[in-house]
Amino acid sequence: MDRGIKHDRRLWVFDFDGTLSNLVPERTAAQILPEAGELLKALLRLPGHRAAVLSSRLLEDLIPRVGIPGLYLGGGSGAEWLLPDGRRIVAEGKTGRLENARKVVAEIDRLKAVQGVDIEDKKWSVAVHVRNVSPDARAGVIDFLGALQEKKDIRLLRGPEVFEVQLLPEIDKRFGVETLCRIASFGSRGGLIVYAGDDENDAVAMAWVVRQGGMAISVGNHSLVPGARSVKTPAELVKEVRKLAGLDSFDGG
């Protein structure tokens, strides 16, 4: 029987969409699962534990969807952070480059002509949602974005029913987790990092966490990185994290 993780200091990092919330047809309708919200609150009550939500969504979009004080909240894959004490920080030296990088957004917007494509501008990235796109048209979207990546300084990451165009290639969720560790003064030698997510951007962070001796939890039908624990749904993730954190015994359940 797994009795939890034997570390006094733990940093829990969660993706939002598809990890703490179910994937929904309309992205604006995404909500944190009630049991996931209770999990985050319970983790914050444990001595030596800190928790973060790291999303490619804009920070202003993420904050009301989570609504739990005491967390680290990262938007734009960690380019922007809201700290537990209310301070906000933005990635140093990146805003000037971002302004120039955003010129490619006009080209990405050409995909709006494809029936079913939904383009979400997240400032630091652009999400091209293809849930409602036919298979033939989807292949054309992939070809267009692939060609754009070859001629522009961008990075293409894939998720369930979406392509994420990182406007600054170095800003991904690995960047976000490394930034979080610095601002939270959390080192892998003094504690355990646990990361949970469901797409390619999360996989980049997971691989880094595993290399630091931490733990990755992959949400979905396939494990995203070697060595990751795998759960199929956000609801299963909640149960797995409660077990790993020893919360059931802590709560007397």
Asked if 234 and 33 touch (Cβ cutoff 8 Å), the reply is yes
- Return the axis-axis angle of helices 200-211 and 173-183, rounded to nearest 10°: 50
Q: Indicate which residue of 2, 15, 17, 198 is catalytic.
A: 15
Q: Which residues contact 106 (CB under 8 A, 6 or more apart)?
A: none
Give the full edge-to-edge strand order of the sheet including 125-129. Answer: 118-121, 125-129, 162-166, 155-159
CA atoms within 13 A on the CB side of 188: 13
Q: Which residues contact 46 (CB under 8 A, 6 or more apart)?
A: 10, 245, 247, 250
Asked if 53 and 73 touch (Cβ cutoff 8 Å), the reply is yes
Give the full edge-to-edge strand order of the sheet including 49-54. Answer: 88-90, 80-82, 72-75, 49-54, 10-14, 192-197, 215-219, 229-231
* Nearest CA among 62, 12, 15 for reference residue 159: 15
Calculate the CA 1 to chain-centre distance: 29
- The reply to whether 153 belongs to the active site is no
Question: Three-class SS of residue 203?
Answer: helix
Asked if 218 and 224 touch (Cβ cutoff 8 Å), the reply is yes
- What residues are labeled active site? 15
